[in-house]
Structure 1
């Protein structure tokens, strides 16, 4: 689990908590099938490590995806009507593999009656969008139609999720001295805190970007090894420019430690703003000229990207908090976090610092070189991308079979497995709009709401939307309202990113923006209204 408090004391050490992504009964069956050994469920449960906890599909904090949770809630409704005996989505997919068997289950529902079920939805509460469980009651025919429509999509979702984990396992088993696998992810921001801080510091605390990375490789004896790295940055934007700046620091480090490496296999989750977009595809197509070796990029199925990076990020944040609490150090910004972390000799995590300036440089470079590259149709359906000069090869799922993969990379041209080729067109320089989000966590933005513009701070980014804490305007000055005014907004409603406001006095109760900033907001707002 990624949280800094998600740890368990095992012996004298604190170990990051891990969550089982399946039921113990299912895991026991898989264990018996793979090993040929027989073991009782109770004995199998006793062997579970202390830091490995059970997950419930219906728990919001279970680290499972929305699709699984919502499907489990519908199965719960079916179970209440005595149609099924289990609410496990994966068990249902395996037990009812075709439409006829699904129809037989739904036929048990009372015809002409009503079906009540729950579903996770983002709903508007007092003008703010929040994730809540919504209870619906519909006619049996409507529920059946909705359920039958979702089953094929969910079945493919489960297949892709399992296939990606299976292919990663295959890759690790077949790694050699010429290949490394790099798994990485953005962790939740580390929030700066001090033992004794004033009120204004508490409400306006800085944050630090953490980007954990785990590199898998084989040693001289052919044993699978890994190295953990955590990138520390003062850049709050989680976008392709930040990812590129990180790669420019990490890849040379990998080449230095593993000089025989000829190919890199990246594994990440699937956010389009960070890893799965035309900019990353363009970087991948030029990876050999940029970094001296080709690469592939593999994506976990949406909602199933949990892995060792979450433990690395959680460990880094927990250790920092413990150091601050025992007054062993003072951390007030990203640079101080890195200075403290880099001196932790007992830590197995290596820390590297990537500055905001490096990220801005990367943004300029990417915009000039790839700004007008056309997006590839079906981008969000790709889970495997292999870069070549000026083009990429893609698949709906990763494939590391002998026909596709060898010691020096992929031979997709001769493989019988289906790989689609896409040429990256229109590489022109010039002033273009960046293909990255307009704002990151901690940035201040001007946004449109209810036919007016407001200024606020981005507190969170989720599923392509921004959670913004808005300020209250009084004349030419701004202040934080007594009652927190936060709202989930669509990126299309963001007018522009603005500089951080300046306090008008030491009390920091009132803030102001420059006249140029306010004029720029007005111009963006006028353009927005004119284009409606």
Structure 2
């Protein structure tokens, strides 16, 4: 409590001065105020104010009256020590009360004079008393008699010796370990000046003091109590948070979190948006670990171990896509714990790191599923939040493939949903207004007004159309997680998705540069592999190019350096399992299927291609693109006069030099065009696969056929499709001609026909190895018949 300035003039309590007030000499104490009030009954002198000699004499006359005794409040606390007044002649041998203590403190200018304390409430008087006692502790009270009575010189000598002890650089660690040595009232500048250390060291010592809460760090016991969280337990919980089933990585270059590492340094990690609430995630966690026979922890520990970069939907308002609820046992699987990409230079040029608090204000999520979002908007119009989107009212079980994909005779059907909606919308008005995403020439959020009956029919229709899509989305996501968990060391799961083109930015650029900005194509990859000992590892890759067309030909050209790099890392790799979204211009088209059948001939690796459900293709590769763009943008803005990043080549070189643990390749537009010329014939002869949009799993059989299924997995219903126009094609990959040629080398006298056939075959094989012409992998039927007749001249069977 701060001290207030005392009035210098007389307070004139007896109205003796009129307009001209004399100078105050004597300060009113509490005893004098009580005596005057007892004598007059209506005059209350305010303690702390002053009286002139005339008024003080009149007030003192009241004390000399022997018939007047001081009045004490029964609520006053009696003390053991006497209190003397300000005048030597005035001495009352009476107990000390709290009011008298307040008077003395006011006289000593320790606290401000307190006026009209009798009019305050009980709570207010208690608050005043607490403030008074705090002021007494700071300014009046001394240590108890049991402690040594140190003088100021003793404290100064102690601080000087400590300063001399920790002043050497080698002993600076002692300063950090004893951060509360400086008084609490010292600023960081005063601490640094006294101990001869830098401001940074003083700031770190202050932070350690707040963290440890004492003069020395808290001693951590090496004895683990029963039920404590081990490293493996913590890893399993983090894996659940970072699994693609329950969270997705955000692609934006601003979607980043600065997280403090165990070594004290901060690392920027791409954010992940949690698709379910923590309570639902914890239920799935218990279900999974109980099935595996592992130890399960409660919700409080589970929530405490949530990684800082895994954020929830905050109060700022977000709209995410579908939120998968607790999956059935057939969908239980776990993803790998991804290691964050480490960056060494681009992220260290004077950045101000963000706070790594667990709480988050949320984020803005875009590019979500239109099918699920429209159902959510209709449910919001009638104030309903339902995790199954009313699909459980249409089918027997939302976890059964037959019910969700086709229905059965026992499924409730639309009538049950109509009856349920009739009761649910009974209290609604005649018209219901809701929002809906429409996709015609563009995507728009429109406001729809419908009658109650029309709204119910619209709800039945959209929920009925959602069941198949919902099951496919969950099934494909579960199969992706299962592939990552159970992949062999000779295989690779490769996820890919084009990132938004990077627009170059220059510090202090002129106005016209904004309208002629150059772009760069980014195609990120995330490869999931295993070592021979079974330990998983991930390889983030990004291909940059000045070729701005995102199509199948670009994807095929970009795959060459990526797959070559994977074979260098793991020479035993034999198969690649692709997972992408269903973009028709890039992946889900007849040209890509023709390339898939020729994958082993082009790259020396077997392959199969799986697609996520529409609008559900978020993966780790989205975060790779966003991170690289963020670092490149920051690095370019920090270069004012030289070395600006203005073209794709400079972007590639900067990422190659400054980004660790992420492989970067550059493929020029000329390379893409040359690669397109080599497969031009194949692209022209590709055949459309009927029902492409409804199929999500494609596995090649040979160089001209593949099998496809609506769902991924060994139990899926596959059908065979042709991807090239002519079925009468000889497949070099399925007919062992090399064995026949080896047999011919040991035979003599085979005739001129055999020699010509072998010559044609060897020329075609040479062309195939060089991959210079498209007809390498394929032989016309006439050439095949000629070759087989030469190899089997005595055979009566017709050529195949």
Give the number of equivalent residue pairs: 401
Give 1:75's match in structure 2, choosing from 367, 374, 379.
379
The 1-side partners of 2:421 and 2:461 are apart by 13
The 1-side partners of 2:550 and 2:257 are apart by 30
CA contact (8 A) 1:285 1:392 kept: yes
Task: Label 1:354 to 1:301 Cα distance change in 2 as closer, same or farther (>3 A).
Answer: same
Check if 1:395 corresponds to 2:694: no
What's the counterpart of residue 670 of structure 2?
357
Give the alignment of 1:197-346 within 5 angstroms. Answer: 197-327=509-639, 329-344=643-658, 346=659
In the TM superposition, residue 19 of structure 1 has moved relative to its aligned partner by: 1.0
In the TM superposition, residue 216 of structure 1 has moved relative to its aligned partner by: 0.8
Give 2:693's match in structure 1, choosing from 361, 376, 380.
380
The 1-side partners of 2:628 and 2:665 are apart by 13
Task: Label 1:329 to 1:2 Cα distance change in 2 as closer, same or farther (>3 A).
Answer: farther
Larger Rg: 2
The 2-side partners of 1:261 and 1:426 are apart by 32
Give the alignment of 1:72-111 within 5 angstroms. Answer: 72-79=376-383, 84=384, 86-88=385-387, 90=388, 92-93=390-391, 97=395, 98-99=412-413, 101-108=416-423, 109-110=425-426
The 2-side partners of 1:225 and 1:197 are apart by 42
Give the alignment of 1:121-136 within 5 angstroms. Answer: 121-122=438-439, 131-136=443-448
What's the counterpart of residue 47 of structure 1?
305
Moved more, 132-141 or 351-360: 132-141
The 2-side partners of 1:173 and 1:305 are apart by 19
In the TM superposition, residue 371 of structure 1 has moved relative to its aligned partner by: 1.3
Check if 1:2 corresponds to 2:251: yes
The 2-side partners of 1:228 and 1:131 are apart by 32
Task: Label 1:261 to 1:348 Cα distance change in 2 as closer, same or farther (>3 A).
Answer: same
Per-residue deviation, residues 80-130 of structure 1 (Å, max 9, x unmatched): xxxx4x254x4644576453542332122249932221112358xxxxx65
Q: Greater strand share, 1 or 2? A: 1
The 2-side partners of 1:296 and 1:223 are apart by 23
The 2-side partners of 1:337 and 1:427 are apart by 45
In the TM superposition, residue 165 of structure 1 has moved relative to its aligned partner by: 1.3
The 2-side partners of 1:104 and 1:75 are apart by 16
CA contact (8 A) 2:506 2:644 kept: yes
Q: TM-score, normalised by structure 1?
A: 0.71
The 1-side partners of 2:417 and 2:284 are apart by 25
In the TM superposition, residue 27 of structure 1 has moved relative to its aligned partner by: 1.7
Check if 1:116 corresponds to 2:419: no
Gaps of 5+ in 1: 124-128, 405-415, 429-532
Check if 1:13 corresponds to 2:267: yes
Task: Label 1:101 to 1:9 Cα distance change in 2 as closer, same or farther (>3 A).
Answer: farther
Q: TM-score, normalised by structure 2?
A: 0.48
In the TM superposition, residue 248 of structure 1 has moved relative to its aligned partner by: 1.8
The 2-side partners of 1:138 and 1:202 are apart by 45
The 1-side partners of 2:429 and 2:489 are apart by 64
Moved more, 97-106 or 39-48: 39-48
CA contact (8 A) 1:279 1:366 kept: no
In the TM superposition, residue 138 of structure 1 has moved relative to its aligned partner by: 0.8
Give 1:23's match in structure 2, choosing from 277, 295, 303.
277
The 2-side partners of 1:94 and 1:45 are apart by 30
Give the alignment of 1:403-482 within 5 angstroms. Answer: 404=714, 417-426=716-725
The 2-side partners of 1:351 and 1:417 are apart by 37
Q: Greater helix share, 1 or 2? A: 2
